[in-house]
Amino acid sequence: MKKINILFFLFFFSVILTAQEVRPVKNIIVMIPDGTSVSVYSAARWFKQYNNLGIGLHIDPYLTGTVTTFSSNAPIGDSAPTGSAYATGVLQQTGNVAIHPEVSENDLFQVEESRTWQPAATILEAMKIEKQKAVGLVVTCEFPHATPADFSAHHYKRSNYAALATQMAYQNLDVMFGGGNGILTEDIRQHFNNNGTTLISDDRNALLNYTGNGKVWALFGKKALPYDIDRNPDKVPSIAEMTEKALELLSKKENGFFLMVEGSQVDWAAHANDAASIIHEFLAFDEAVGKVMEFAKNDGNTAVLILPDHGNSGFSIGTSNCPGYDKLSLEQLFGAVSKIKLSANGIESVLVNTKPEEIKAVFKEYTGIDITGEELQTLLSSKNYKEGDYTKVGTSNNLAHNIVNILNSRNCFGFTTGGHTGEEVIMACYHPQGDLLKGHVMNRDVNNYMQEAAGLEVSLQELSDRLFVKHDQVFAGMNFTIDKKNPDFPLLRVKKGKNILEVKAFSSVATMNGKPFDIGSVTVYIDKNNTFYLPSALAEKL
């Protein structure tokens, strides 16, 4: 009965949406402040007011409703399946990136077992392939992290950066700004040389002064960019600067564009229970919102959706540490957090190079806090000086975690967890003709709205069934083998007569009798069923 009720709930909202007209536009922009709970908006507004930074947020005039985000088999979602649901309209399991999930005994809707592991076409791919539009991504994480990968790659395992990063490179994105220089491979660099992509590495000025018309990637750091509160503005661009440059370049394209912008590290700061970093990350993202809305209103042919993919940490303004909550002043609530100059990770990086006798003074310099002797001993005895998993910074006994505990003991912000949470997220929407997505919707409805706004003549599922067909169906009756000498990138070899077609996993370039040609979309290899998924039209090459 529960499953039937949920199915009816999903169907009911889909019917409402399809009854509303959404007139197609030239450009679509999706903005995702990852892991941003409702309280973050409130804290950011009060922080701005306390610090005389203005009243309200850039996003405020465009708020239209809320979204329930979830996985195919769980009410609380991970970034991979929740972002993928926005990108593809297909509900997925934890770890899945734009791919149909396995059947689970806890499924919240009926999963099509026959489609398990089939890649699901994304709105980015549809606008590039079906509408010949330019496409771009702007993020503050490393480029193959879950959310950017959700829109531009396919795999059942979000941590498989080899597969995801390669697909993203071979998607021939017009713009990719974010982190991840250390993830680039020689194959990716060679592909950039072959297709004329300009690669800018750790050079803010080169990015901001770039005026070319070709494809461009600008990456900063080995992996992610620093938190905005830690960022050196002379060396690393803000998310607003990257977004503004992306809009400048993409708007040159005659057919229009699709752009996804992610404030990636609101989520990371929430995992760490780092209130100051949460607020600064969201305000940096909101500055990018301001740039996008200015562009959209001036352009007159651009739709914008702004919405988190899930909540995180149970962040609250008010905690049991601060009795008399209804009498606490703005100073009492936001004074302490406003004195913090670095993230907990940033403070950690300073303290590990500080002499023990100087730690008290250095801690006060960056936080305004006089730590006690007991707190000093806690810092000195911390294990795991550098926690490798960003989702565990707020819970393991590492130095950053102990720094956060000290910071949180001096403010009135609360946290229930170091993980994701299942509440609805706030949605904002802009459409030049007022065709807004509003009220309370489900994550799949967000994708439906984008498909309508894009004016797609075929559904994403139809596109999936054209682009991602099992190799034994595409080449039925032909002689084919899978070469696994390189297990990360198997090679499909198909022979017919004197012709030999070779297709490399996670690439968009194949060879016919040794001569390379562009397939037009990426291929995906799934080891669980030893299957390549590729365009049905490839059979015509033989």
Residue spans per domain, the chain: 2-68+124-315+418-465, 336-414, 468-541
Select from 286, 276, 314, 301 the least CA-distant residue to 428.
286
Q: What is the largest CA-CA distance in the chain?
A: 83
Q: Is the dihedral of CA 458, 464, 467, 473 positive or negative?
A: negative
Give the phi and the psi of residue 430 in degrees, each rounded to 5.
Answer: -140, 135
Which listed CATH number (3.40.50.280, 3.40.720.10, 3.40.50.1700, 3.30.420.40) goes with 2-68+124-315+418-465? 3.40.720.10
Distance CA 300, CA 65 (A): 23
Distance CA 351, CA 400 (A): 10
CA distances from 340 to 31, 279, 368, 369, 422 (A): 27, 11, 7, 9, 29
Distance CA 386, CA 396 (A): 10
**What's the pTM?**
0.94
- pLDDT at residue 441, as a whole number: 98
C-beta of residue 503 within 8 angstroms of C-beta of residue 531: no
Rounded average pLDDT per 10-residue block, the chain, 542 residues: 48 50 97 98 98 96 98 97 98 98 94 96 98 98 98 98 98 98 98 98 98 97 98 98 98 97 98 98 98 98 98 96 93 97 96 94 98 95 61 69 96 96 98 98 98 98 98 96 97 96 98 97 98 97 92
| Helix 275-299 with 330-338: angle, nearest 10 deg | 90
Q: Dig out the tokens for 469 from the structure.
A: 């067909």
Distance CA 2, CA 388 (A): 39
Where residue 180 falls (left for φ over 0; alpha for ψ -120 to 50; beta otherwise) is left
C-beta of residue 394 within 8 angstroms of C-beta of residue 415: yes
Q: Is the dihedral of CA 242, 244, 248, 250 positive or negative?
A: positive
Q: Which amino acid is at 379?
A: L
| DSSP per-residue letters across 47-111 | HHHHTTS-SS-TTGGGEEEEEE---SS-SSPPHHHHHHHHHHS----TT-BSBPPPP-TT-SS--
| Helix 275-299 with 38-50: angle, nearest 10 deg | 90
Q: Dig out the tokens for 526 from the structure.
A: 């799934």
- Do domains 2-68+124-315+418-465 and 468-541 share one topology? The answer is no
* Pair type for strands 257-263 and 134-142: parallel
The long-range contacts involving 203-208, CB below 8 angstroms and separated by at least 24 positions, are: 204/234, 204/235, 204/236, 204/237, 204/241, 207/177, 207/237, 207/242, 207/245, 208/237, 208/241, 208/245
C-beta of residue 135 within 8 angstroms of C-beta of residue 27: no
- Cβ burial, residue 290 (10 Å; 0-12/13-18/19+): middle
166: helix, strand or coil: helix
Where residue 406 falls (left for φ over 0; alpha for ψ -120 to 50; beta otherwise) is alpha
- pLDDT at residue 7, as a whole number: 47
CATH class for the domain made up of 468-541:
alpha beta
